[in-house]
């Protein structure tokens, strides 16, 4: 068998295996909110409502280090929520999954769809 034939057969076998694996994994399909079959969590969405934007923190407190900023109207990905320092009567903070894994005060993020799960 020539090298060209061997490489062609390997490519066909690899592509066929990928198709079989993809067909056997319907549980990886997500719904409109980014959830999978209920056992795996993706992300929730929210829109920043703070007029000047939102300072993102390394912990769910206003006194922790600022590590980022989200602009007013920006749609952010939320991984989960946790109680933290109260901001204007709202003690919840969202862990954002937009690359920094920073905390944003829930007081300044409007949910798009369902409320995020607890961390």
> What pLDDT, on the 0 to 100 scale, is given for residue 97?
93
Nearest to 114 by CA among 27, 40, 30, 34: 34
- Classify strands 103-105 and 90-96 as parallel, antiparallel or unpaired: antiparallel
Report residue 49's pLDDT band, with 50, 70 and 90 as the boundaries.
Answer: very high
Model confidence at 17: pLDDT above 70? no
> What pLDDT, on the 0 to 100 scale, is given for residue 41?
61
> What pLDDT, on the 0 to 100 scale, is given for residue 59?
97
Secondary structure letter of residue 64 according to DSSP: S
pTM over 0.75: no
């Amino acid at each position: 068998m020539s090298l060209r034939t061997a490489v062609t057969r390997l490519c066909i076998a690899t592509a066929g295996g990928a198709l079989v694996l993809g067909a056997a994994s319907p549980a990886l399909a997500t719904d409109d909110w980014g959830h999978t079959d209920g056992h795996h969590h993706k992300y929730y969405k929210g829109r920043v409502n703070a007029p000047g934007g939102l300072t993102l923190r390394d912990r769910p407190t206003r006194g922790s280090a600022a590590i980022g900023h989200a602009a007013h109207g920006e749609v952010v990905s939320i991984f989960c929520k946790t109680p933290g320092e109260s901001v204007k009567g709202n003690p919840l903070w969202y862990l954002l999954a937009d690359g920094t894994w920073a905390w944003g005060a829930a007081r300044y993020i409007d949910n798009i769809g369902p409320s995020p799960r607890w961390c």
